[in-house]
Structure 1
């Protein structure tokens, strides 16, 4: 049976080469937007700002670059990637959701998933944090959101990744500032798709570490809400192997298994910090006055003792109480099939 990643690539190649329904986005340096109807009422300076600071050229990513999360990846491929590749097939009831929410502890790969969606669906990738939107463009946030989605529509298929989306779409209150309320309302309009054509292929991916702080209206508009949990043992081992591939080491399978067993509760980011700390141990064993002159090949490989030492100083960053909140929120609003 064909692997889904392989199938994605085959579909991608087919749609690029032969599908009459595929419309290629203009190149990043194109002047196409100057004459596009969707940008006629948009400030050209904002368009340039979006192209220079928010629209990104991503490196090609494969689902294998993301350790574990098999259920999440299968849902995303079915609900998002394939529809973006084949809009002629995914119509009517099969039409993809306008927005998906990725929630869970920090450091679990939510941003990487957003980039992989764009890569696998051959989409233009737009990335912005809510904090930047609310602070960098004070008073201009509403216009910036409108401009962002107009540009995304021009360069479709597009993936708009919003980090820290909870700070942008937090629960509304009577004390809320007028500019904040307008920004929030504009974003909700865009998430609804009311300001765009029904056929536009623009996906909004929101990422948050605090899903419980989202406004109810925003939560409802994210039709798919996927829990991105801490990596399980097999995923931690894969992360270890990937990271160790960048440094000379003499760890065997049993050593890697031991480290994997001792890192329960570590996020992907925690695993990265752990490996970095262990990789420094061989250098610390060298007298400081010799480091400027030592031959690289004379630095000993990283070993299991280095990891045992690193484990004493690098601890999990996510508390058990926080994990319990994520699991509870997932039970109420997320894809409960993820729970075991």
Structure 2
């Protein structure tokens, strides 16, 4: 839809409001829905930089139309009840404002992460010792021992803003922090309604600062919010960045909880605006796991899995995963542990192993094996089918099927950026 059609739609909506006001009745709920859809439409049109100023003027006109609709229409936009006094429109606006604020508070409260502190702490992470130590000093210790971080030591311990590259360790940080942990992304803060994104950002920091205990705000993929500014970007994106910068500076923190930490993650640090980078006092680069870390991770992933892999074989397999990320190693081991199950589903011959209690368990076998019976897994009771143990060959096959996802060029770019 072009701008001409958008202007025509706005005119039609205005006529509908005028008619509703003049007649003392009208489908207000439908009008509200139409105005909301129209605002989304104009926000989409405004992405074109040549038409952006015109489009935003139309969007502002739609906002004024919505205000007029709430103030003067003869039906309550929520319940549809008739208005009998001149004071009702003011109460409707007040109630609408309260409802919207309650919705924002509910949305922010939903981002608080609850984790099992016994299984998701820093002890559950292998490798990256330097990065964990930095996070420990910057976030966890100031929260757990606030009386130790005063004066210059408090400034050294973060000044409350920290930037890390990956996002998989957020649960570990949440488990270590003895307080609320807000895990948000751009989808939690970006709204198509004009000005709503800035309100959500303010509500996020207000909610965190109102907590009795120290709190941590974690913004995932922060580059989606804080990319470098340019003259071609939309006004809404610039306003969002400005509001986030204000909150990072603590503009609205008077009387609130000063122990609020901001922790962000990105895989594209070079795309961040310099104004945001200056406000991150700690930048933690989490590199790829080394040989010992990969071996330990493989060993942990085999816990609870029946396998015949020896320590020597595990060491050799860890060497074969050079350049793999932690996520890559998890993918490989998950694929390897599925290999016996795949053979179970494809098996055509089975052998019955009689237990002392007389119960028979069935395992796949070769056709030449004595006592082999033809059949498939559907012919056997599900609880009696037994898969073989995981072997080193299964892991080797999984490594061949799942190459590393981090290229040498990407790794070199991270290293170069971390060193400059």
TM-score using structure 2 length:
0.64
State the shift of 1:296 in Å.
6.0
Gaps (5+ residues) in structure 1?
1-39, 105-109, 333-340
* Structure 1 match to 2:58: none
* Structure 1 match to 2:89: none
**SS of the residue aligned with 2:198?**
helix
In terms of Rg, which structure is larger? 2
Residues 199-256 of structure 1 show CA distances to partners (whole Å, capped at 9, x for unaligned) of 6111111100000000001011111001011111111111111111142211111111
Greater RCO (CA < 8 Å, at least 6 residues apart)? 1
Cα distance in 1 for partners of 2:268, 2:173 equals 22
* Structure 2 match to 1:11: none
**Residue of structure 2 aligned with 1:324, choices 412, 416, 420:** 412
Matches within 5 A, 1:1-340: 43-51=101-109, 53-60=110-117, 61-95=120-154, 96-97=157-158, 98-103=160-165, 110-112=167-169, 114-134=170-190, 139-155=195-211, 156-197=213-254, 200-288=258-346, 289-290=376-377, 293-295=381-383, 298-332=386-420
* Structure 1 match to 2:351: none
Cα distance in 1 for partners of 2:392, 2:309 equals 6
Tell me how many residue pairs correspond in the alignment: 286
> Is the contact made by 1:111 and 1:207 (CA closer than 8 Å) also made in structure 2?
no
Over 3 Å off, 4+ runs: 135-139, 291-297
State the shift of 1:154 in Å.
1.7
Cα distance in 2 for partners of 1:65, 1:281 equals 26
Gaps (5+ residues) in structure 2?
1-97, 347-375
**SS of the residue aligned with 2:168?**
helix
Residues 265-320 of structure 1 show CA distances to partners (whole Å, capped at 9, x for unaligned) of 11111111101111111122224431663546721011101011111110100111
Cα distance in 2 for partners of 1:226, 1:324 equals 16
Distance 1:132 1:151, change over 3 A: closer
> Is the contact made by 1:72 and 1:226 (CA closer than 8 Å) also made in structure 2?
yes
TM-score using structure 1 length:
0.78
Distance 1:111 1:137, change over 3 A: farther
Cα distance in 2 for partners of 1:330, 1:188 equals 23
Mean Cα deviation higher: 128-137 or 274-283: 128-137
State the shift of 1:138 in Å.
7.2
Cα distance in 2 for partners of 1:284, 1:138 equals 53
